């Protein structure tokens, strides 16, 4: 009986997953990137493009980030001396773009959640509802035969399930956004808004799961793209991008 229930739930979740995928595909297919969205399309190949993205954010926030411009100049000078390309420094520059649009007030989870598009929120809630249902059912099946050792078994199960959840979330990221990004590439649609949502989710998941993953980055794969590997490291946004960014929140200093 329990096996049949689990099978029905699993099939139902699979159907919902594809419904969510279709919902997200239509949303991002029809959405045009704003100037701010375009900043988060991870296409910067030069320091000049990084400065252009920074100026777009400054116009949006109506604030000038002089220290950020100085940092970009510093990395550019360093690149010339060491004969390195911009890509070597991108993980020290681009995380700042996301950081400055996240509000300072309230919790990090809440601030990032507000910036997510509705279809992404739907998929996120669907995934965690699925994990919660599976956790509850398996916990009942595993723990019910035990009595004296139930607490110990439960604690071990919780530790295992946290790791399992981390794996499922990362796998979902790769598959879901690989397919979605592939569709946008195929039909030559804007992808900056999608990338912004991916970056926000990387921050949310790394904090919400207690920083279980060492990298906390989520590759979306299509076209060899890796979206914002530096997001989520550490706590409280201190040391964004490998320790080179201080401050935080909209209007924060770099």
pLDDT digits (tens, 9 = 90+) for 64-86: 999 899 999 999 999 999 999 88
* 213 pLDDT higher than 70: no
Contact 29, 187 (CB under 8 A): yes
Instruction: Flag whether pLDDT at 16 surpasses 80.
Output: yes
> Cα separation of 239 and 228, whole Å?
15
Token pair of 27 as six digits: 């949303």
Strand partners, 224: none
Q: How much is the pLDDT for 149?
A: 64
H helices present in 31-149, as ranges: 35-39, 47-61, 66-82, 90-93, 95-99, 108-115, 118-143
Tens digits of residue pLDDT in 91-117:
888 888 888 888 877 788 888 899 999
The 3-state DSSP class for residue 139 equals: helix
Model pTM greater than 0.85?
no
pLDDT at 145: 66
Q: Are the CB atoms for 239 and 96 separated by under 8 Å?
A: no
User: Which percentage of the chain shows pLDDT scores above 70?
Assistant: 75
Question: Which is higher by pLDDT, 149 or 128?
Answer: 128
For the chain, what is the domain count? Answer: 1
Per-residue b or e along 103-137, where b marks 16 or more CB atoms closer than 10 Å to that residue's CB: eeeeebeebbbeebbebbebbbebbeebbeebbee
Residue whose entry in the numeric block shows the structure tokens 């390309």:
85
- Boundaries of domain holding 143: 2-42+94-243
Asked, for residue 116, whether it belongs to a domain, the answer is yes
- Facing residues of 227 across strands? 218
Query: Is 72 inside a domain boundary?
Result: no
Nearest to 31 by CA among 111, 113, 117: 117
In this prediction, residue 219 has a pLDDT band, given cuts at 50, 70 and 90, of: very low
Instruction: Give the confidence band of 24 by pLDDT, cuts at 50, 70, 90.
Output: very high
């Amino acid at each position: 009986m329990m096996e049949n229930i689990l099978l029905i739930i699993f099939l139902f979740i699979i159907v919902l997953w594809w419904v969510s995928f279709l919902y997200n595909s239509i949303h991002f297919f029809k959405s045009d990137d704003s100037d701010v969205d375009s900043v988060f399309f991870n296409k910067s190949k030069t320091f000049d493009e990084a400065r252009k993205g920074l100026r777009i954010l400054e116009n949006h926030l109506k604030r000038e980030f002089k220290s950020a411009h100085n940092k970009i100049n510093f990395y550019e000078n360093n690149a010339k001396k060491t004969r390195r390309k911009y890509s070597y420094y991108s993980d020290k520059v681009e995380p700042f773009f996301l950081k400055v649009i996240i509000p300072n007030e309230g919790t990090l989870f809440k601030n990032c959640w507000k910036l997510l598009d509705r279809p992404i929120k739907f998929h996120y809630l669907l995934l965690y509802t699925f994990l919660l249902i599976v956790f509850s059912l398996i916990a009942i099946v595993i723990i019910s035969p035990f009595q004296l050792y139930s607490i110990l078994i439960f604690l071990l199960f919780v530790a295992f399930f946290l790791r399992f959840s981390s794996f499922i979330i990362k796998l979902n990221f790769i598959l879901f956004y690989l397919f979605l990004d592939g569709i946008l590439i195929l039909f030559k649609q804007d992808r900056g808004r999608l990338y912004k949502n991916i970056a926000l989710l990387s921050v949310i998941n790394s904090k919400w799961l207690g920083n279980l993953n060492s990298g906390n980055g989520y590759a979306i794969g299509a076209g060899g793209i890796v979206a914002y590997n530096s997001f989520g490291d550490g706590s409280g946004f201190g040391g964004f991008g490998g320790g080179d960014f201080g401050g935080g929140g909209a209007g924060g200093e770099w």
